[in-house]
């Protein structure tokens, strides 16, 4: 299983929110580039970046710092947050980003998503942010009225290969992740790699996700608070994979 440490960007800083609430923000590092280097030094291969400003505005608000992170580390970077145009996708891929996550645009403009998958292939992932079974958009601030399983069926039909799924109710709460949700998604949608996000807060979470065949786990607040040691998490995920 892949472990993806997370950096959420707001005004050029590494921050964390609670349940996606922009008013409940904690700044963990004034310098996201140095934070990314710390993750690299802990043997991370992937990095999950979210432009929180862009998620609300629909623009690449933190593109400059994202470019610096890519150019100053050897990490494979995936980026989400406000990516709603071909120009934005092209800009991020030109910076060296490995995978672009489409969220709001994926549900609001299905034809755009279809065209993006056809043009960029596996460089495109879809972010499915869910609260009580409903997919949320606009930086988690707006309900879509869409059921997660209905939407996942559509993603399968369009050939989406990677979904980053976040249970908003668990995000930043340090109360454990929604293993049952990710297991069900993985079992029902076998052509899609599920990346679990939201509430991954212990080694037990990681072991359970790996046991259930989840492709990857994004870890945020648990790394910043010291609840999970990144080196140990990566080593455990790899060891478990080798044992199976």
Which residues are known to be catalytic? 8, 129
Residue 180's contacts (CB-CB under 8 Å, 6 or more residues apart) are: none
Pairing of strands 13-18, 142-147: unpaired
Residue 99's contacts (CB-CB under 8 Å, 6 or more residues apart) are: 76, 77, 78, 79, 122, 123, 124, 125, 162
Residue 145's contacts (CB-CB under 8 Å, 6 or more residues apart) are: 134
> What's the CA dihedral at 90, 88, 53, 147 to 10 degrees?
-100
Which is nearest to 28 in space by CA: 166, 233, 220, 230? 220
With beta carbons less than 8 A apart as the criterion, state whether 39 and 229 touch. Answer: no
**Separation CA 3–CA 158 (nearest Å):** 26
CA distances from 63 to 88, 106, 172, 193, 239 (A): 9, 20, 24, 26, 35
């Amino acid at each position: 299983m892949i472990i993806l440490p997370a950096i959420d960007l707001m005004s050029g800083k590494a921050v964390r929110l609670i349940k996606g609430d922009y008013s409940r923000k904690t700044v963990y590092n004034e310098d996201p580039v140095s934070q990314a280097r710390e993750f690299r030094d802990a043997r991370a291969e992937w990095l999950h970046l979210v432009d929180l400003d862009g998620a609300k505005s629909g623009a690449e608000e933190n593109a400059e710092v994202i470019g610096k992170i890519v150019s100053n580390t050897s990490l494979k970077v995936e980026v989400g947050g406000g990516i709603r145009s071909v120009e934005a996708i092209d800009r991020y891929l030109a910076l060296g980003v490995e995978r672009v996550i489409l969220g709001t645009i994926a549900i609001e403009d299905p034809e755009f998503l279809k065209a993006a998958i056809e043009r960029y292939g596996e460089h495109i992932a879809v972010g499915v942010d869910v609260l009580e079974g409903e997919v949320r958009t606009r930086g988690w601030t707006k309900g879509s009225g869409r059921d997660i399983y209905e939407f996942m069926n559509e993603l399968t039909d369009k050939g989406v290969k990677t979904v980053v799924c976040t249970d908003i109710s668990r995000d930043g709460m340090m109360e454990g992740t929604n293993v049952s949700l990710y297991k069900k998604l993985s079992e029902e949608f076998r052509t899609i790699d599920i990346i679990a996000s939201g509430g991954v807060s212990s080694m037990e979470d990681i072991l359970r996700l790996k046991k259930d065949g989840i492709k990857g786990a994004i870890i945020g607040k648990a790394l910043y608070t010291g609840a999970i040691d990144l080196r140990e998490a990566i080593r455990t995920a790899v060891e478990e994979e080798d044992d199976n």
